[in-house]
Amino acid sequence: MTANSQQPELNPFWTHSVDDLLGQLSCSAKGLNSEEAQQRLQQYGLNCDAPPKTESALRAVLRRLLEPLSLILLLAAVVSLITGDTTGGSIIVVILILSIGLDTFQEGQAIKAAAELRHSVALKAEVKRDGRFQSILIGNVVPGDCIRVRAGDIIPADAILLESTAFTTDEAALTGEPYAIEKKPGVVKSLTVAEASNAIFRGSVALTGEAQALVIATGKMTLFGEAALALAEAPIISPFQRDLHNLGLVIARLTLALVLLVLMARVVAGRPLLDSLLFSVALAVGLTPELLPMITTVTLTRGAMRMAKRKVIVKRLASIHDLGAMNVLCTDKTGTLTSASITLAYAIDPNGTKTSRPAKLGAIAAELGGDRGALDKALIDSTPDAARDWQLRDRHAFDYNARRGAILAEGPDGLVLIVKGAPDAIIGLCTAQRDGEGTKPMDAEAHHQAEERVHALSGEGLRAIAIATRPWAKGVYQMDSTAEKELVFEGLCAFADPPKPTAAAAINRLKASGIRLKILSGDDPIVVKRLAGLVGLGTGAVLTGAEVAAMSNEALEYQVQHVDAYGRLTPDQKVRIIRALQARKSIVGFMGDGINDAPGLKAADIGLSVEGASGVAQAAADMILLASDLSVVADGVVEGRRTFANILKYIRMGASSNFGNMLSMAIASPTLSFLPMLPTQILLNNLLYDGSEIGIPLDHVRPESTARPQIFDVRNLVRFAAIMGPLSSIFDILTFLMLLFVFKADPALFRTSWFLESMVTQILVIFIIRTNGRPWDDRPHPALILSSFAALAIAVILPFTPVGAWFGFVVPPLPILASIFVLVLVYLLIAEFLKPFATGIPRPNGKWF
């Protein structure tokens, strides 16, 4: 279903009246019914630039069939058939079909499961359907819908405002202008988008307030198309993905070099060109870990499904590795370390006397200003009817850098400017104060006393905001940039936000897992310090935003290694701290749920948000937590590390096996007068080995593999391959020598025997490589046992069957089988001995031997 040109051409739609637009769209401001909405969805298409990219099974098969290696195999099959080798050509085709079928099925199932998980946390919009507002997927919004947008939402479509309350948007992603734009209903004559104050555009972000709007255009018919949504959810190439890609390139180059070397050596030695070419092609296939993408996708998807059961929804599969590698987690305290059920404890006037006036003024500012933060909700709940007799005339949206916002309201007291925000951002602007005796000048001593009261509240663990006012001239309904000065200090509102009972235990779990927690808060440093002590982070130094701002990048990089708590931070300062940690090679996670958290979520290696967070935060996050609790993060970390451990098993097995095979082939091919293995035998070897590893995504993982951060280290992988690969080659060469000089094997017997030795060693060593412990002490998953021994049984039995003759196998005599058994046993014992040196990890008992 695609968007099409049947949508009405109404641009610039903001120059039309609402009635005109309603008429042209054949709808009403009351919204659509379900039947109308479905008809329009069929007519106009999904609210996206292009239909979702879904690949059919046939297309997936064709894509794999057109890959270079598949084409080479097809060519080899054709050449075999033309030259009369019907059996060889047929076998190549069968192996190709089985390989492609297995890959397509496994990856298809994984992609489907991952898509279902992402769909469960897809961005949604509020639309009025059948007379009531309901939440639907953004893709199902259609022209004629009546939508409701609140602070933090991503605008789902181009729309004309029907009504609004203190509504502002951020269109920086669309226009590049980084400031709040006030939006209100009306008709605009200007054709310029920047002056369309009555319209909202798909992809922009609602900053404050609330609005209802009529959808005019969706999908590619919107003014800016997919631009901002693409920015909000831009694909990120993680270090893990880059390392996997680089590993693939290294293997490809080594394979190409070896294949060319073997081909040239055989041609120079006078071997048949066609045989040498087919052998080289088969060798290239056998040395390529073509299942790596599938194994990686399947393993990550299974990990994502397990994480979903632990209340973590994965949006970006590669982020599972990033979560497992994370060694620093940055979070705001609200809702994560504290209960998030913030309540107004009390309000005091400048003298410290309890009074309701500051809370009432704060509630008026919150209600009329459209602010929907946790403190604003607590103010409104404490005085629900405060704004009943007041009307909004103008507003300055809350500025996260200045840490204050203001409204101009008219009510029983006339026109009044009300400013609320962080105490240190407001008290300094006050020249007078009001208490029970009236208004009086606010001198230096009064300023000092106000600051001391803030500190006292913070010492009690209470969060405080300041309220100030300023009388306003009658009939003047606009504020300028100088409005917030010469204010009257009205007092402080104190809020209770106790720590979660589970916070300390969750932090200890993270600490035991090698993850250091850092609090990046906009709150008073004293409150942050007290909370840090309560949840077990200690009562060390707390850096303030002002101190962070004054530091050079080098100084900050030093401080972030020693300081775990930060207060009075702006969003930009949080990003600086994250980047300073990254500069020190930390893998940083950031947990946030507000509009102001989006920059931090994007800057971090792994962004975590929560269900019910602002739309822009959810769009920027890599994972969505279904519960705002650090224990959920700790559970997710374990699953992330378990998933990566299984991927690493396959990579280690493939790297060491391929490197060993490269060395063996490089030595055997030029020195033998015949092919050490037929092309069909190499392909069969490759197919069976790949089949033996299908159970890896389900395999068990030792506790030590999930105890510390797991990082994809290419150098460790190279060391592993450099030790285990040559070990495999040594036993291949011993097998060659034994077959040639002890048993005087002919080519058919040589190939059969080496095939058996190669298959048995490759499959059985899986059970050594899969664990850092002793293989007999660490039970593998039944699926891995089944897949491995099924492949092993086929390999061993095949030469004794009529089918084996099709592949050029002969029945090996018992002495050769016994000799291979001894060689395999010795190989496995030595591999177990060398394993700690190859991995760089001692055995679980701490010993290397």
- Give the three-class secondary structure for 124: strand
- Cα–Cα distances (Å) from 596 to 110, 569, 576, 579, 662, in that order, read 34, 11, 14, 17, 53
Residue among 648, 645, 652 at smallest CA distance from 700: 645
Residue of 470, 465, 472 whose CA lies nearest to 487: 470
Q: By the 8 A CB rule, do 646 and 299 touch?
A: yes
Active site residue 443: no
Q: Select from 332, 663, 796, 267 the least CA-distant residue to 520.
A: 332
Strand (E) or helix (H) holding 242: helix 239-268
> Which of 456, 583, 461, 592 is CA-nearest to residue 518?
592
292: left (phi over 0), alpha (psi -120 to 50) or beta: alpha
Own/partner long-range contacts of 551-555 (Cβ < 8 Å, ≥24 apart): 553/580, 553/583
| Long-range Cβ pairs for the range 779-782 (8 Å, 24+) | 779/700, 780/695, 780/699, 780/700, 781/695, 781/698, 781/699, 781/700, 782/695
Pairing outcome for strands 414-421 and 404-411: antiparallel
Q: Tokens 């599938």 label which residue?
A: 294
- Among residues 332, 349, 524, 564, which one is catalytic? 332
**Cα 407 from Cα 166, distance rounded (Å):** 9
**CA–CA distance, 610 with 202 (Å, rounded to integer):** 23
Across-strand partners of 170? Answer: 180, 205
Two tokens at 386?
Answer: 């405060």
Taking only Cα atoms into account, the Rg of the chain, rounded to an integer number of angstroms, comes to 34
Give the angle subtended at the CA of 598 by the CAs of 592 and 603, to the nearest 5°: 95
Cα 498 to chain centroid, rounded: 30
Read out DSSP for 605-633?
SEEEEETT--HHHHHH-SEEESS--HHHH
Residues designated as active site: 332
